[in-house]
């Protein structure tokens, strides 16, 4: 609430120039609700005991706590949206709502919980909602990435004429035809990196090892390595380094 109140105060100021504001709402990340806030989805845990989590643990109360934290955040976002409307800023302000990662609740029955433990779709798939003044509502069905946000902003919002490849490995979300139908995604967490082809994962551990897994995070020991694909994707990691 404190974070959103500061954002609301900032929006309420007089802005004679363009402004940028960023707010990170942490409730779903920590599975926390403020004091006095009852979980909207029941039954729900009051507190997570990570030592109890295993393959036999019922995920529903944990998942309901997470969903309730998101529900709480949705209400906070509603306050921000209302403030933008009150200040007549919605017609000239781009609003982006997304997340840094998802959360897994043993969805693959491999005893993975939370985030930062693997690159399964449950941990890396996130919402991306953009309200762009003057653009009609649309749903993008292509495979997208966080790296597409900057190209979208620069090409559409700042009239950047450079080729996107001059500064990014992403694509503009408003040029969906330019996004490859079969797209390989670079994924990373604090320790490891991965390439997701849409069907398989090439996982690179920090100690230098590599393994190939399917979409259910099962090892494919007999899978032939596509060396060209790996080389192309690894080169992207240093493409703009000098």
8 Å CB contact between 60 and 43 = yes
pLDDT for the residue numbered 240: 87
**Chain centroid offset of residue 44 CA:** 24
pLDDT for the residue numbered 17: 86
Residues of the chain with pLDDT under 70: none
8 Å CB contact between 104 and 123 = yes
pLDDT for the residue numbered 141: 83
8 Å CB contact between 146 and 153 = no
DSSP single-letter state for residue 107? T
**What's the start-to-end Cα distance of the chain, in Å?**
42
Cβ burial of 162 (10 Å; 0-12, 13-18, 19+) is exposed
* 60-86 vs 2-11: helix crossing angle, rounded to 10: 20
pLDDT for the residue numbered 181: 87
Query: Is this prediction's pTM over 0.75?
Result: yes
8 Å CB contact between 113 and 104 = yes
pLDDT for the residue numbered 68: 98
**Structure tokens belonging to residue 181:** 């139908």
pLDDT for the residue numbered 165: 93
């Amino acid at each position: 609430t404190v974070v959103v109140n500061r954002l609301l105060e900032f929006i309420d100021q007089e802005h004679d120039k363009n402004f940028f504001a960023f707010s990170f709402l942490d409730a779903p990340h920590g599975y926390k609700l403020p004091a006095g806030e009852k979980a909207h989805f029941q039954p729900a845990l009051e507190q997570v005991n990570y030592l109890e989590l295993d393959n036999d643990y019922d995920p529903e109360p944990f998942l309901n706590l997470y969903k309730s934290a998101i529900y709480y955040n949705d209400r906070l976002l509603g306050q921000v949206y209302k403030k933008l409307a009150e200040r007549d800023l919605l017609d000239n302000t781009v609003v982006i709502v997304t997340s840094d990662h998802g959360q897994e609740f043993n969805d693959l029955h491999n005893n993975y919980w939370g985030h930062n433990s693997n690159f399964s779709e449950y941990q890396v798939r996130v919402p991306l909602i953009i309200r762009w003044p003057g653009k009609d509502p649309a749903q993008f069905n292509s495979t997208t990435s966080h790296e597409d946000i900057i190209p979208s902003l620069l090409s559409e919002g700042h009239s950047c004429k450079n080729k996107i490849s001059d500064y990014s490995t992403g694509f503009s979300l408003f040029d969906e035809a330019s996004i490859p139908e079969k797209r390989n995604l670079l994924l990373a967490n604090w320790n490891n990196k991965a390439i997701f082809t849409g069907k398989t994962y090439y996982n690179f551990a920090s100690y230098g090892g590599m393994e190939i897994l399917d979409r259910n995070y099962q090892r494919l020991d007999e899978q032939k390595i596509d060396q060209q694909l790996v080389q192309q994707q690894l080169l992207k990691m240093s493409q703009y380094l000098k």
